[in-house]
Amino acid sequence: MNSLMRQTNPLAPFSSSRADESRQGWRPRLVRTLAAHPKRDYWLERVPETAGRYQVRGVTGVIFILFGLMKAFDFTLPILVGAPGLQVNTGVEGFAQLISGIGMPFPFFSAAMVIAMEVVLGLGLILGAWTPATRLITRLCALPLAGDMLVALLVGIRQVQGNPVVIDGHAIMNQFWRLPLELGLLAGMMYLLWRPAARPVAPRLVSVPVREG
Instruction: List the one residue out of 101, 113, 210 whose CA is nearest residue 159.
Output: 101
**211 occurs within a structural domain:** no
Q: Is the pLDDT of residue 204 over 80?
A: no
Domain count, the chain: 1
Q: Is the pLDDT of residue 134 over 60?
A: yes
Q: Is the pLDDT of residue 4 over 50?
A: no
Cβ atoms 193, 146 nearer than 8 A: yes
Q: Is the pLDDT of residue 6 over 60?
A: no
Each residue's pLDDT tens digit, 55-70? 999 999 999 999 999 9
Q: Is the pLDDT of residue 110 over 50?
A: yes
Query: What's the pTM?
Result: 0.76
Each residue's pLDDT tens digit, 143-197? 999 999 999 998 888 888 888 888 888 888 888 899 999 999 999 999 999 999 8
**8 occurs within a structural domain:** no
Q: Is the pLDDT of residue 80 over 60?
A: yes
Average pLDDT over the chain, rounded to whole?
83
**205 occurs within a structural domain:** no
**128 occurs within a structural domain:** yes
Q: How far apart are CA 151 and CA 36, in angstroms?
A: 42
Residue 172 has what pLDDT?
83
202-211 average pLDDT score:
64
Range of the domain at 142: 58-194
Q: How far apart are CA 15 and CA 10, in angstroms?
A: 9
Q: How far apart are CA 123 and CA 66, in angstroms?
A: 10
**74 occurs within a structural domain:** yes
Residue 164 has what pLDDT?
82
**44 occurs within a structural domain:** no
**140 occurs within a structural domain:** yes
